[in-house]
Amino acid sequence: MASDQSTGSDIVSRRKFLVASGAVGAAGVAGCTSQSDGDGTDETAGSGSTDTSMLNAEGSSTVYPISNTGSAYWNSNSPPDDGEYWGSSGESTVPGWSDLGEPDMNIADYFASLYGFEPTEERSNPPFPTSIGLSHSGTGCKAVRDGKVDIGNSSGPITAELGISESEAQEEYVDHVVGRDGQPVVVSSDVYEAGVTQLTGDQIRQIYQDEITNWSEVGGPDQEIYAVGRAEGSGTDTSFRLNMLGGADAAMPGVDTRKGQNQQVATVIEQNEGAIGYMALAFTSDAVQPIAIDFEGTVYEPDRDAENTIFDSDYPLNRDLHMYTKITEDTPDGTDMREAAFLNMFLTTFGQKLFVEDVNYIPLPTSDIQSEKDKLPEQTA
């Protein structure tokens, strides 16, 4: 797949680029973990002194939808009159368009120009191409450590993935959080309407450990509790045990049904009375209501405007989705201009809506977006 990108021509032709991105897409589907052109040294479209080689990322399948959707939009370099993928047309406007100041530039041209790249003004020909590989969090962290890729995608902290200390991680890597993966606790509508809109963390633990078996014990109707869990040993199951039940190997004798997918959990809770479960936010509805949870005195509410919300990173069932970059001699800040241009795209209303919320993850609250932006180098334009 490298041959198409290392031809040394000054401008990558559109066809070549399409071939290359096709090959990258195929490699991503095949779970290809090796990135032969990952050192970022090959020149593709040299324009002055700025490095415009392909930006490589790889890692977690959880982060993949976010970064790959972003990459697809980036590589399209859609013009501002497109309306569907970028900018505004007579029929539609992309979300967050006015927040960006309605720039009269193609999508990748705009975000790249903020960090000093020359616009190409051509559809499908971004200032520099991006490619996202699909593997695992650990593989992505190792690849960024060994300099094989520019960005390592990980759904777990790099300290756990590489077995390094917190201070070592801070010295060598920059942690860019682009979104959150979370599991609100939900109940069926009959229980919600009967007044169970908030539970304590301990009550949820007791429900899943068979110590509470009737809703009347937590102020609800006299109805047996139907506890729905996720597939045994899955990441979601393990993190629920860890964060709610007190340990990755905590017993869960109260579970009545286990389902592997969010959709199945949603349907089962919708169809049954007295049900409780946990699943991704995107699948909640009137029949499947997220509830507030009281963890040791802090009430996390399912409302974005509340003081503490179930979208916060402190909420025990949430985890940050990371894109790690490495601190090198050339980039003491840890993030070079290409990485910054690409990452910055995710830290906008536009990016959070299209690349995070629309692929069923939790967008960052405004304050977190600002602190993430502060990690990037100064914008030049």
Partner 1 sequence: MMTIPSTLDPDSLRSAGMQYVRSSRRFIDEATPSELATVLLSSLSLIAAFIGFLLVSSWTVVPFAVFLIATGYGWAKHQGLMARALTLSMTISTLVILGLIIVFIFLRAWPALQYGSAEVFGLNVPGLRMFIQTRWNAAADPIRYSMLPMIHGTVMVTIIATLVAGPLGVAAALFLSEIAPGVVRETVKPAVEILAGIPSIVYGFIGFTVLSPWASDQFDLVGQGTYLFVGIVVGLMALPTVVSVAEDALTSIPESMKSGSLALGTTDWQTMTSITLPAAFSGVSAAVLLGVGRAIGETMAATVMLRNNPTIPDPIFNVFYGYETLTSLVAANYGEATGIQMNALFVAGVILFITVLFISIGSQLIEARMEQKLGGVE
Contact residues toward partner 1 (CB under 8 A) are: 224-226, 228-229, 231-235, 237-238, 241, 248-252, 255-260, 264, 267-268, 271-272, 274-275
Residue closer to partner 1 by CB (options 54, 225) is: 225
What is the Cα–Cα distance from 36 to 15, expressed in whole angstroms?
21
Nearest CA-CA partner of 231 in 252, 206, 211: 252
Residue closer to partner 1 by CB (options 239, 352) is: 239
State the minimum distance, in angstroms, from the CB of residue 236 to partner 1. Answer: 9
State the minimum distance, in angstroms, from the CB of residue 277 to partner 1. Answer: 10
Burial zone of 332 (CB within 10 Å; 0-12 exposed, 13-18 middle, 19+ buried): exposed
Q: Are 266 and 175 in contact (CB under 8 A)?
A: no
**How many residues appear in the chain?**
381
State the minimum distance, in angstroms, from the CB of residue 267 to partner 1. Answer: 7
Residue closer to partner 1 by CB (options 237, 301) is: 237
- Please report where in the chains the tokens 């040299």 appear, as a residue: 46
Residue closer to partner 1 by CB (options 21, 62) is: 62
Residue closer to partner 1 by CB (options 185, 252) is: 252
What is the Cα–Cα distance from 381 to 369, expressed in whole angstroms?
20
Residue closer to partner 1 by CB (options 274, 351) is: 274
Residue closer to partner 1 by CB (options 144, 288) is: 288
State the minimum distance, in angstroms, from the CB of residue 255 to partner 1. Answer: 6
State the minimum distance, in angstroms, from the CB of residue 258 to partner 1. Answer: 4
Q: Are 76 and 94 in contact (CB under 8 A)?
A: no
State the minimum distance, in angstroms, from the CB of residue 260 to partner 1. Answer: 6
State the minimum distance, in angstroms, from the CB of residue 61 to partner 1. Answer: 11
Alpha helices in 87-200 (DSSP H): 107-113, 137-145, 158-162, 166-172, 189-193
Half-sphere CA count of 236, side-chain side, radius 13 A: 20
**Phi, psi values for residue 279, rounded to 5°:** -165, 170
Retrieve residue 238's tokens: 């393990």
Residue closer to partner 1 by CB (options 95, 235) is: 235
What is the Cα–Cα distance from 336 to 135, expressed in whole angstroms?
23
State the minimum distance, in angstroms, from the CB of residue 24 to partner 1. Answer: 23
Half-sphere CA count of 91, side-chain side, radius 13 A: 5
- Please report where in the chains the tokens 């191409």 appear, as a residue: 129
